[in-house]
Structure 1
Amino acid sequence: MKEPRVLLVDDERFFLNLQQEFLADSPVRVITAQNGREALDMIQRDRPGIVYLDLRMPELDGAACCSAIKNNPDLRNTPVVMVVSEGKPRDREVCLDAGCNGIISKPLDRIQFLSVGRRLFPAIERRQPRYPFSALAFFRIRDTSFHGTIADISLGGAYIACRCDLAAKEDIRLGFILDNTAVVECRARVAWTNQGGMRPRKSLPDGFGVQFQAMEPPHQEVVRQLVARLG
C-alpha cells in the first residue's frame, strides 16, 4: 500500500520546518516545495493526499497554483489548504475564488493546522505526546492575574498546575519561563479542567490543560527545541 503523502509548499524554510514538526506524529510521508511551479510538478508526479499551500510565493503564487490544481481533471480532487497572513480578508477571498478546500493563517497554530488537515485527509494525526517538565507559568484570566507551574508540555499545549476558577474553552494570555532565561508568551485556550476532589485526572495536581494559540515563530522555535530535547 502506498504511504500517504502530504505536500507542504512555502518559500520560507522556517515555515516548512514548523509544519513538518506538526506532522511528526502522523503516519505520512512529508514532501516539500518552495514555489507554486515546483509544487505543480510534484503533485503530478507524487499525487499527495493533501497540499498545504502558502499564498505569497515567487514564480507562481499559491492562488494561481491552487487554481491550476482545481482546473486539472486529474488533480481537482486533491484537497488544498491555503496559508494566509492573519488580518487580511482580501487574501481569504482570493483563496476561496481559487477553489481551495480550507484556509489557515500565520502565525501558524498547530491545533488549527492539524484539525483542518484531518478533516480533509484522515491520515493526519491531531494528538501529540506530552513530556514531564517543570517551569513557572503566569497567566491572565479576564482581569485577574495568576501564577502556577507547568507540569507537562508538548508542541501544541501544556498542563498548568494551579487552583483557579476557569472553564473549558476560555481564552487566557499565558507566559512561562524556560531554562531560567527564555520567556515564552502566547494566547492559549483552556482545553480541559482538573479541579477539586472530583477531578478526572487525580494523578495530576489541580490545574488545567491548554492549547497554545497564535504563538510567534521565535517562541515556537524555543518550544520546539525544548520538546525535542525532552523527547
Structure 2
Amino acid sequence: MAYPKIMLVDDTRLILELEKSFLKLSHVDVVTAGNGAEALELIRKDPPDLIFMDMHMPVMDGIACCTELKADPFLCGIPVVMLTTAGKEEDRELAKAAGCDNFLTKPVDRRLFLDLARKYTNAVDRREQRLPCRLPALFLVGKAPAAGLVLDIGDGGVFVATKERLLLHQRLRLALYLEGERPVLLELKGWAAWLNEEGKRVHSSLPAGFGMEFLELGEEESAALKSYLASLRPEEPSAS
C-alpha cells in the first residue's frame, strides 16, 4: 500500500527534523530537500502529494521554486505551503504571487502544521503521542451501542479495537472508565479519523478498529484525561 508523500524543503536541518517529528505518527512517506533546486529535481522524478517549503534558502529560494512548479502543467496541482517570517505581510504577498496554496509562519507550531497538512491529505494524524492501555468502552453508532476496547489513548483521541464497521469521519460518542483509585467515567464526542479495516490495515500492528479524534472536549474531561495520562507515563529516574 503506497502512502501519500509529503516533501519538506528547508536549508536548516533542525527545521527539517522538527517537521519530520510532527509527522512521525502519520501514515505518510516523507522526503526532504535543502533548497528549491534540489526540490525541483526530486519533484520531477517522483511528484509528492504535498510540499512544505521555506521561503528563504540558498541556490534557489521558495518563491523561485514555487513559481517554476506552478508554471509546469504536470506539477502545478501539487499543493505548496510556504513557510514565511512571522509578521512580514510582504512575504505573504510574494508567496501568493508565486502561486502557493497556503502559508505557515516561523517558528513552526505543531498544531497549525498538522492542521494544514490534514487539509490536503487525511493520512496526516494530528494526535499527540498515544500511551498503551486496555480499557473496555461502549460507543454509539447512530443510536445503536457497540462494544470496543481502547488500546491506546492520548489527549486528542484513542484507538478502539472493534469488529464494528464504521464510516470514515463518522461522528461518535464513546464512554469508558479511566482506571485509578477512583475510576472516572468519561463520555466523549469525536469522529472516526481513520479506519483499520480487515484486509485494509492502515496500521499493521493494531487489530481491526478505528482511531477516534476527540471533539468538544470540556474542561472536566480534559483534566481527568490529563491526570490519567500522567499516571500511565513512567516516572523519570531521580538524579543521584
TM-score after normalising by structure 1: 0.59
Q: What residue is the counterpart of 1:18 in the other structure?
A: 18
Total equivalences in the alignment: 152
CA offsets 1:90-111 (integer angstroms, 9 cap, x no match):
0010001111111001010011
The alignment status of 1:93 with 2:118, answered yes or no, reads: no
Instruction: Evaluate the alpha carbon distance shift between residue 204 and residue 103 of structure 1 in structure 2; reply closer, same or farther with a 3 A threshold.
Output: closer
Q: Counterpart amino acid of 1:119?
A: K
Letter in 1 for 2:63: A
Aligned pairs (5 A) from 1:1-231: 1-130=1-130, 192-195=217-220, 199=221, 202=224
Q: Is the 8 A contact 2:127 2:154 kept in 1?
A: no
| 2:27–2:123 contact (8 Å) kept in structure 1 | yes
Q: Which secondary structure state, in structure 2, belongs to the residue aligned with residue 105 of structure 1?
A: strand
Structure 2 alignment gaps of length 5 or more: 133-152, 156-215, 229-235
Q: Report the residue type matching 1:78 in the other structure.
A: I
Distance verdict in 2 for CA 1:94–1:64, change over 3 Å: same
Identity rate, percent: 40
Shift of residue 153, structure 1, vs aligned partner: 8.6
Change (3 A) 1:63 1:153: same
Deviation at 1:85, TM superposition (A): 1.1
RMSD: 3.1
Q: Distance in 2 between the 1:45 and 1:93 partners?
A: 30
Deviations 1:138-185, CA, capped at 9 Å, x for gaps: xxxxxxxxxxxxxx998xxxxxxxxxxxxxxxxxxxxxxxxxxxxxxx
Structure 1 unaligned regions, length at least 5? 133-151, 155-190, 207-228
Measure, in 2, the Cα distance between the counterparts of 1:153 and 1:201.
12
Calculate the TM-score normalised by the size of structure 2.
Answer: 0.57
Report the Cα distance in structure 2 between the residues aligned to 1:130 and 1:52, rounded to whole angstroms: 25
